[in-house]
């Protein structure tokens, strides 16, 4: 057990990040269970505690009487310094057990820029960062989450990955572990991994060998073991109603990023935006029933004492029974003063009406994502939204009393011209002018938040070259020059971070040394603007003799093998190619949730189907 001295806790920012004891935290005696599982999110407590996936897995595991699951997050830099000074190892928040003593350490990998934190947390736990160097007494290091659709840049740091939705397979993994352990750990570490690799959705990277051609490009990945399958399909939950959801989430003492109940309405989004990886990787759409959601919301309010609930999904307004559900929830929780919110709004009046109904009081601001500034480019990305849709939705919002609108856009989308960029400024101006036209006065605030496009694996744009940093900066400048109205606030991303994200997102195993060197140089919390050190990364690339531009800026051939294709969300490559060609021709593709099937392949490949209760009523 790790004991934290007051002299440490009283010298760091927000010590309650490290002291546990929260409501609903599950504390078990390790001597009384067969498997201990540390669940980590490699970011600071307030971010880690807001992750829904880990909340679910925490309960799935702790529901088992033979397993104890505990939480661990990345100590902030001040705490890391104190811990290293005092030789304190990383510990769990439930029983303050050294992380190195757990059977498993699972990391939720949310995005590329937290990889150095994974290495840092392993190091703080006294666990070698390279999987090959771990000995028999060390935990198995497991990776999961949205980043598993290209695990290769971090493959060497992990013993195994869970591909896809974890609720079922994580328990199967524990079963395999307990069997192996009771049998006297036959074959040691490798023996367990051989058994685990037989499970659907488990990828053991050390059981594969990667080949490169003479030009130094990825050519193939081949299994080294019989149990290692050439392609690992993601795991997927077929019935969202019966699968375990979080019912007693841990309630933090500190204010965290999402300090409220998260009620997951459905999984998946099939609107088919062509830049969006989540739109592919969470397919198909599977809704919970209104009845089940009502039941869960009651359980969650009673178990937490929260008076705020967010109805989450990739596009919550698409939930087929949303209107009815919201009416019921508002009615059921009126006395208890529970308020509800939708994290993402569709660009239509229906969404505005709903948002209005839910936010009777504070009109805190509405967020829409037109993503591109012209109709032409929105057609390229299959964002089925017109300028008219946006202006209609915004007018409805203004009439209901909102006076702050946030718009999300991207720079550097395929086929983009300067005209498309200036289009963003024009659209924002129209949104401002609309307020004056409706209200007869000025006073609106329009924020445009403009990201740099990062092409991602398993999207129709997985082959395209990313803009160079210079190009991104030129475009940011061009946009800035075209914004003249003071009511418009322009936020944009650091092109250097998007560049790195672009490199790692479509990287291969040769990048593991770069990540290692960057971490060695001191890189951590790379997603935090104040902690980001571009120079650490550049010297790491130089040291490893790797040209990063080959990974992000190169236009890939449509026929070349891609290094991430063996851990797949089940989408057919032909579909992605088809979509890419449609994009270039500015042709749209229907949402299969209501329209016709676009043959992406996910349902047949995974043996699952779309669940939409709106259709069921018809």
Partner 1 sequence: MFKYRAEITKGEEIRYISHLDYAALIERAFCRSKLPVNYSEGFNPRMKMAFASALAVGVTSDAEYMDFELVKPLCQPEVFERLREALPPGVELLRLCTLDGKHKALMAEVDLAKYDIFVPLAGTFLEAQRAVQDFNAVREFTYERVTPKKKREIEVKQYMKLPITVSSREDGLFMTMAIIIKPSGSIKPGELLRVLRESFGMPVDEQQALIYRRALWGQGKPLIELIEE
| Residues within the interface to partner 1 (CB under 8 A) | 5-7, 9-11, 14-16, 19-23, 251, 253-255, 301-307, 336-337, 361-362
Query: Nearest to residue 352, comparing CAs of 324, 392, 381, 325?
Result: 392
How far apart, in whole angstroms, are the C-alpha atoms of residue 108 and residue 118? 10
C-alpha pair distances (Å), 583 with each of 146, 381, 409, 572: 24, 6, 18, 17
How far apart, in whole angstroms, are the C-alpha atoms of residue 298 and residue 308? 12
CB of 97 to partner 1, least distance (A): 17
φ, ψ for residue 36 (rounded to 5)? Answer: -120, 135
CB of 608 to partner 1, least distance (A): 37
Nearer to partner 1, 307 or 477 (CB): 307
Contact 475, 412 (CB under 8 A): yes
Contact 247, 26 (CB under 8 A): no
Nearer to partner 1, 83 or 583 (CB): 83
Tokens coding 330? 């508002």
Nearer to partner 1, 23 or 130 (CB): 23
CB of 178 to partner 1, least distance (A): 30
Nearer to partner 1, 94 or 591 (CB): 94
CB of 252 to partner 1, least distance (A): 9
How far apart, in whole angstroms, are the C-alpha atoms of residue 412 and residue 472? 7
Contact 354, 342 (CB under 8 A): yes
CB of 11 to partner 1, least distance (A): 6
φ, ψ for residue 67 (rounded to 5)? Answer: -135, 140
Query: Nearest to residue 325, comparing CAs of 358, 278, 282?
Result: 358
CB of 26 to partner 1, least distance (A): 13
CB of 46 to partner 1, least distance (A): 12
How far apart, in whole angstroms, are the C-alpha atoms of residue 54 and residue 45? 13
- Give the up-direction half-sphere exposure of residue 266: CA atoms within 13 A in the CB hemisphere: 28
φ, ψ for residue 611 (rounded to 5)? Answer: -120, 110
Query: Nearest to residue 321, comparing CAs of 357, 358, 284, 290?
Result: 290
What is the SS3 assignment for 495? Answer: helix
Nearer to partner 1, 130 or 253 (CB): 253
Nearer to partner 1, 4 or 576 (CB): 4
Nearer to partner 1, 96 or 350 (CB): 96
First to last CA, the chain: 58
Nearer to partner 1, 17 or 346 (CB): 17
- Do strands 218-223 and 208-212 pair parallel, antiparallel, or not at all (unpaired)? antiparallel
Contact 131, 157 (CB under 8 A): yes
Tokens coding 547? 């040209």
How far apart, in whole angstroms, are the C-alpha atoms of residue 372 and residue 414? 11
Nearer to partner 1, 16 or 597 (CB): 16
Residue 137 has a CB neighbour count (10 Å cut-off) of: 8
CB of 333 to partner 1, least distance (A): 11
Nearer to partner 1, 20 or 373 (CB): 20
CB of 9 to partner 1, least distance (A): 6
CB of 21 to partner 1, least distance (A): 4
Nearer to partner 1, 121 or 300 (CB): 300
Nearer to partner 1, 306 or 528 (CB): 306
Nearer to partner 1, 6 or 440 (CB): 6
Tokens coding 250? 């841990």
CB of 6 to partner 1, least distance (A): 6
How far apart, in whole angstroms, are the C-alpha atoms of residue 608 and residue 195? 26
User: How does DSSP assign 410-472, residue by residue?
Assistant: EES-TT--HHHHHHHHHHHHHHHHHHHHHHSS---EEEEEEEEP---TTSTTTTSPPPPHHHH
C-alpha 204 chain-centroid distance: 22
CB of 440 to partner 1, least distance (A): 25
Torsion sign, CA atoms 569, 570, 573, 578: negative
Nearer to partner 1, 196 or 338 (CB): 338
* Omega within 30 of 0 (cis) for the link into 284: yes
- Do strands 35-41 and 104-108 pair parallel, antiparallel, or not at all (unpaired)? parallel
CB of 307 to partner 1, least distance (A): 6
How far apart, in whole angstroms, are the C-alpha atoms of residue 172 and residue 465? 40
CB of 15 to partner 1, least distance (A): 4
Nearer to partner 1, 302 or 535 (CB): 302
CB of 338 to partner 1, least distance (A): 9
φ, ψ for residue 74 (rounded to 5)? Answer: -75, 125
CB of 517 to partner 1, least distance (A): 36
Query: Nearest to residue 105, comparing CAs of 82, 83, 87, 123?
Result: 123
Nearer to partner 1, 188 or 305 (CB): 305
């Amino acid at each position: 057990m790790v004991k934290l001295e007051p002299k440490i806790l009283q010298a760091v920012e927000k010590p309650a990040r490290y002291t546990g004891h929260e409501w609903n935290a599950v504390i078990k005696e390790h001597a009384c269970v067969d498997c201990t599982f540390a669940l980590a999110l490699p970011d600071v407590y307030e971010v880690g505690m807001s992750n829904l996936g880990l909340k679910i897995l925490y309960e799935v595991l702790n529901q088992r009487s033979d397993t104890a699951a505990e939480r661990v997050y990345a100590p902030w830099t001040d705490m890391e310094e104190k811990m290293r000074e005092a030789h304190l190892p990383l510990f769990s928040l439930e029983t303050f057990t050294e992380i190195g003593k757990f059977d498993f350490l699972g990391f939720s990998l949310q995005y590329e820029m937290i990889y150095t934190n994974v290495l840092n947390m392993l190091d703080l736990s006294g666990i070698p960062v390279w999987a090959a160097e771990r000995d028999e007494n060390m935990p198995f290091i497991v990776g999961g989450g949205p980043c598993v659709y290209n695990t290769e840049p971090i493959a060497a740091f992990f013993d195994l990955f869970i591909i896809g939705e974890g609720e079922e397979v994580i328990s199967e993994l524990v079963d395999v572990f307990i069997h192996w352990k009771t049998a006297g750990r036959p074959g040691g570490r490798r023996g367990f991994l051989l058994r685990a690799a037989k499970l659907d959705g488990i990828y053991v990277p050390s059981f594969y060998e990667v080949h490169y051609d003479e030009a130094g490009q990825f050519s193939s990945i081949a299994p080294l073991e019989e149990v290692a399958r050439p392609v690992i399909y993601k795991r997927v939950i077929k019935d969202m109603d019966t699968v375990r959801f979080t019912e007693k989430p841990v309630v933090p003492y500190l204010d965290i990023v999402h300090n409220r109940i998260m009620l997951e309405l459905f999984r998946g989004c099939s609107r088919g935006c062509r830049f969006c990886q989540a739109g592919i990787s969470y397919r198909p759409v599977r809704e919970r029933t209104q009845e089940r959601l009502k039941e869960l919301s009651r359980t969650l309010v009673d178990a937490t004492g929260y008076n705020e609930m967010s109805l989450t999904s990739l596009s919550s307004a698409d939930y087929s029974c949303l209107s009815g559900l919201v009416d019921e929830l508002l009615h059921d929780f009126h006395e208890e003063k529970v308020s509800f919110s939708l994290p993402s709004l569709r660009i239509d009046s229906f969404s505005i009406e709903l948002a209005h109904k839910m936010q009777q009081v504070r009109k805190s601001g509405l967020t829409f994502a037109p993503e591109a500034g012209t109709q032409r480019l929105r057609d390229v990305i299959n964002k089925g939204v017109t300028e008219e849709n946006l202006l209609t939705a915004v007018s409805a919002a203004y009439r209901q009393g909102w006076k702050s609108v946030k718009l999300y856009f991207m720079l550097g989308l395929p086929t983009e011209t300067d005209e498309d960029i200036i289009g963003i400024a024009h659209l924002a101006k129209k949104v401002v002018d609309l307020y004056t036209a409706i209200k007869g006065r000025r006073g609106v605030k329009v924020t445009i938040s403009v990201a740099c496009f990062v092409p991602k694996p398993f999207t129709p744009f997985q082959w395209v070259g990313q803009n160079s940093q210079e190009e991104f900066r030129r475009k940011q400048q061009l946009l800035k020059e075209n914004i003249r109205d003071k009511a418009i606030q322009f936020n944009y991303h650091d092109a250097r971070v998007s560049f790195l994200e672009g490199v790692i997102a479509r990287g291969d195993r040769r990048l593991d040394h770069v990540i290692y060197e960057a971490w060695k140089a001191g890189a951590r919390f790379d997603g935090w603007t104040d902690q980001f050190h571009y120079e650490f990364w550049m010297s790491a690339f130089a040291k490893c003799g790797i040209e990063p531009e080959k990974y992000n800026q190169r236009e890939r051939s449509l026929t070349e093998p891609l290094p991430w294709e063996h851990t797949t969300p089940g989408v057919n490559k032909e579909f992605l190619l088809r979509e890419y060609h449609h994009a270039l021709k500015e042709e749209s593709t229907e949402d299969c949730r209501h329209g016709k099937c676009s043959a992406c392949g996910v349902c047949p490949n995974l043996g699952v189907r779309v669940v939409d209760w709106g259709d069921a009523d018809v």
